[in-house]
Structure 1
Amino acid sequence: MNRPRLVAVLAFMPHFSFAQQTPGTHFIENGDLDAKGSVTLKEIPERRGDAFYMFDQNEDDLLSTEEYVFFDEPRAADMAANAENDAHGKGAEFMQAGLTLGFNDTDFDGQVSRTEFLARSTAWFEMIDRNRDPAVTSGGFGPRNN
């Protein structure tokens, strides 16, 4: 797997997601492994594992502070590119917060192990499942109804 190429593709994510009309579409398309139109807690660890793998450049099962910079950059660019049109919708801040070093570094050693990252899957899902049903849909990115 060519990791620099994957990072380059992710760097262009803002352009792809900017074009979407429905908030959360990009997240649902990428996380919906069973093609049912939603992302469930069962699907979250696999996608988080994929993200971890893409950014663990030296394949030591740790995201160092330096590797986390490469993990943060595409997400920050995506959020900035979509901020003007609210393309991510409400709730996107929770998606971003659940991917940060601070959220995932549970032993506070300045890096995130694969185990730590995957162990935070449930907490992250609970943050983004705004209506507390068992799945995240594009409706979860709009105004909170409850």
Structure 2
Amino acid sequence: MKFTTFALAALFPLSVAAQGAPGSHFIENWDLNADGTVTLAELEQKRGDVFYTFDSDENGFLDQEEYTYFDDARAADMEGQSAHAGGKMGRVQEGMALTFNDTNGDGQVSEAEFLAKAADWLAIIDRDESGGVTSADFGPRG
């Protein structure tokens, strides 16, 4: 199985900054060029990396067992992130769930399904409809 503690740390690194403002943990992990905005291209690239990590049998699908590992890894990543629980982060988590990504309802998620849902996921997270995810998309509405 490709899933290892190292892989989890690479996909979901923890830092002191992640303990701060709502959304900082997400932005830190998904903003690949560190410009403060997570773009659709970055979401697609990172989702591809995530898919590859959890597709342990390399068949191009995340089945129920692989999705359980994926769910567990996301839950472990959010431990200690109580400032980020619920609210907007709940919608971030929703965009990674099996039910969100299994567009044909067959109980597994193909790589194509997972990558195609990146735009829908962006729409859920991008509260200010700027076309990218920034810290303004998290926390209380102003």
Match of 1:48 in 2: 47
Contact 1:17/1:26 (<8 A) preserved: no
User: In the alignment, is the contact (CA less than 8 A) between 2:2 and 2:56 conserved in 1?
Assistant: no
RMSD of aligned residue pairs (Cα, Å): 2.6
State the partner residue of 1:134. Answer: 131
Structure 1 residues 23-77: Cα deviation after superposition (integer angstroms, max 9, x where no partner): 2222212222232111011211001111111111111110000000000012223
Q: Please list the CA deviations of residues 66-115 of structure 1 after superposition, one character each: whole Å capped at 9, or x if unmatched.
A: 000000012223445323xx235741011100000000001111100000
CA distance in 1, matches of 2:79, 2:21: 17
What is the letter of the counterpart of residue 95 of structure 1? V
Number of residue equivalences = 142
Where has structure 1 moved over 2 Å in runs of 4 or more? 1-13, 15-19, 76-83, 87-90
Query: Where does residue 9 of structure 1 map in the other structure?
Result: 9
CA distance in 1, matches of 2:43, 2:11: 22
TM-score, structure 2 length as denominator? 0.85
Residues 46 and 128 of structure 1, relative CA distance in 2, 3 Å threshold: same
Paired amino acid for 1:62? F
Percent of aligned pairs with the same amino acid = 46
Contact 1:95 1:124 in 2 (8 A): yes
Larger mean Cα displacement after TM superposition, 63-72 or 74-83: 74-83
Q: How does 1:51-130 map to 2 (within 5 A)?
A: 51-83=50-82, 86-87=83-84, 90-130=87-127
Whole-angstrom distance in 2 between the partners of 1:114 and 1:21: 33
Q: Which amino acid aligns with 2:71?
A: D
Secondary structure in structure 1 of the residue aligned to 2:41: coil
Q: 1:18 to 1:65 in 2, by over 3 A?
A: farther
Q: Whole-Å Cα distance in 1 between the matches of residues 77 and 16 of structure 2?
A: 8
- Structure 1 residues 37, 12: closer, same or farther in 2, change over 3 A? closer
Unaligned runs of 5+ in 1: none
- Give the 3-state SS of the residue equivalent to 2:46 in structure 1: helix
TM-score (norm 1): 0.83
In structure 1, distance between residues paired with 2:17 and 2:28 = 14
